[in-house]
Amino acid sequence: MKLTVISIFCCLFLATSMPVAAEEVKTVEFDTAKVVYDYQPAREGVATLSLNALVSETNDSLRSLKNTDRRRLGKLGQLIYQCKLLLYRPESTSGDSIANVPMLISRNFSLYTGVDLRLAKGERLGIRVRSLPQVDSERLFAPSLGGNDSQQEVWEDVGGGSAIDLVQINVNALLENDFISGADNIDIQLRFPIFQLERPVQQWSYNFDLRDFKRAIEHADENCTPTRLSDLIESNS
């Protein structure tokens, strides 16, 4: 009798602990960078596949010299590139016509700070992105070395109309400007609020090595395809 009760209990536990639908989450390593696959199967006719290329910041020993807020110094930043596919598949859609169903594709770069801090409405955040180009051995002693053309820089001003959550911030400048493909290293500086008389302006700085991150981005793009998502849906249906 005791064995029967235990068996029934185990069966109920296994039944309630099983996932409600098939999912695929895996990680591909590229030395200091990685790509995380996150597949969410069709629920109410919608399936998604997200590929996130991640790299953690470098130059940890210099953070105390570059930053002005201790909350920032206790967190390790990450630069994230995300490619996300969304497929709307009505229940009446057959497997043969799945390739013809419209698919939405979104791509973006974001900076993960890990610091739970929120700027109020009306306060603006300044993002400065500066990339250092790849070293060309044939130009090591060129007159332009170390000159104005040795790096690229862009400034992005966000916020003002709504509150800003600094835990993770979109960096549109990286998507709009081709900084990463020709660089080995990138600096991202946050300045907030940009101008404030009542309290001091804070500044956070980040540095990322892009060599492995570029390989991770390439892998994400190659596998962020409608065919890949369709295959996952069919294999889990």
pLDDT in tens, 139-186: 444 444 444 455 688 888 888 778 889 999 999 989 887 788 888 899
**pLDDT one-digit tens code per residue, 35-55:** 999 998 766 678 889 999 999
Q: What type of residue sits at position 220?
A: A
Query: What total of structural domains would you count in the chain?
Result: 1
At 106 the pLDDT is 87
Domain extent for 126: 19-235
Pairing verdict, β 202-209 and 33-43 = unpaired
List the end-to-end C-alpha distance of the chain, in Å, as a whole number. 39
User: Which is it for the CA torsion 225, 230, 231, 233, positive or negative?
Assistant: positive
In a domain, 143, yes or no: yes
Contact 73, 63 (CB under 8 A): yes
d(CA 228, CA 237) in angstroms, rounded, equals 14
| Band (115; pLDDT cuts 50, 70, 90) | very high
What is this structure's pTM?
0.78
In a domain, 178, yes or no: yes
In a domain, 106, yes or no: yes
d(CA 172, CA 159) in angstroms, rounded, equals 13
Contact 53, 85 (CB under 8 A): no
In a domain, 135, yes or no: yes
Q: Which two tokens stand for residue 54?
A: 């991640």
In a domain, 9, yes or no: no
In a domain, 207, yes or no: yes
In a domain, 93, yes or no: yes
Q: In 3-state terms, what secondary structure has residue 38? A: strand
In a domain, 12, yes or no: no
